[in-house]
Amino acid sequence: MPIYEYICPDCNTKFELMRPISQSSEPADCPMCKHKANKALSRFACRSVNSFGTAVPIAGGGGGGCAGCAGGSCSSCSS
């Protein structure tokens, strides 16, 4: 079962809840004030380590550039 993030509009509490996908968009009870909380937009970042031991974004994971160069400057895009 996936974990979803929620935020309560009454007390501003942020919390996570494991629930079925079929219930993901339904409001959840806030653990602090018991009011209905809405699902929050979750963000995450994927990183890898290159041969030098430096953390780098996973290719194709967003950022600038174009799809042909996976986010860096290259001759095929304008960045």
Report the distance separating Cα 27 and Cα 55, nearest Å: 37
Quote the percentage of the chain above a pLDDT of 70: 70
Residue 50: per-residue pLDDT? 82
Query: Higher confidence at residue 66 or residue 53?
Result: 53
pLDDT of residue 24: 85
Q: What is the pLDDT of residue 79?
A: 44
Which tens digit of pLDDT belongs to each residue from 25-42? Answer: 899 999 999 999 999 987
Question: Could you read off the pLDDT of 49-64 as tens digits, one per residue?
Answer: 888 888 777 765 444 4
Whether the full predicted model's pTM is greater than 0.75, yes or no, is no
**What residues form DSSP beta bridges with 14?**
7
**How many CB atoms within 10 Å of residue 67?**
10
Looking up tokens 């970042």 gives 45
